[in-house]
Amino acid sequence: MKKKERALFIETKLAELFPNPKAPLNSVNNFTFLIAVLLSAQTTDKRVNIVTAELFKKANTPSKMLALGEKKLYEYIKTCGLAPKKTKAIIKTSKILIEKYGEKLPKDLFLLEELPGVGHKTASVVVSEIFNVPAFPVDTHIHRLAQRWGLTSGKSVKQTEKDLKLLFDESKWRDLHLQFIFYGRGFCTAKGCDGTVCFMCKSLYPNRKNKIKTLKA
């Protein structure tokens, strides 16, 4: 298969496996969705949802989060990876949202990226899910799969995102982002597949004999 043919096959099969995919992070409004995505870095979605179930009852707006303070916030999120760093970032971001944006999230990707703790991937997820702006956030799962499936060189996350955006229509980016992640978690895991094991890898490269060593994000 040529690259375009592989892309079409992947798009079709992922849509069959995961029709109408839903974001796995729980939230009650735009602000809490941002915080949930921020917390998800180096932490499972399951852990984030456990932590935020209580946190968002107490603080679901920038003002309430700021009022909570670093010490109390840390107690809620301490079981998440990088909790001390995330605590400071959430408090700083809450303060900026209050002072600069009237407690609302800016819709511009680049303005979101300026918020403490909000990198390009987090900002991309937010604009895609909340503001319906076409974006293709790339995490470790997507970066791994795109290499195994011959869609990118894998030299960097930035390059992987660029390559995927060229291959797939922007109307599909939001769903594909989630579908890639769900497939990567369930079938083509970092240790469970080496490019020769899962259905997608075997279908795309039926004659592949050598294991694929993927470059880290």
Ordered structural domains, the chain, with CATH: 30-130 (1.10.340.30), 136-204 (1.10.1670.10)
pLDDT on residue 155: 87
C-beta atoms surrounding 202 within 10 Å: 14
Cα 151 to Cα 6: distance, rounded to the nearest angstrom:
8
**Which amino acid is residue 36, in one-letter code?**
A
pLDDT of amino acid 154? 85
Other C-beta atoms within 10 Å of 74: how many? 18
Q: How far apart are CA 8 and CA 94, in angstroms?
A: 41
Q: Residue 211 has which token pair?
A: 């294991």
pLDDT tens, residue by residue, 135-167 = 999 999 999 999 999 999 988 999 999 999 999
Q: What mean pLDDT value characterizes the chain? A: 97
The length of the chain in residues reads 217
CB 21 within 8 A of CB 174: no
Q: Is 216's pLDDT higher than 90?
A: no
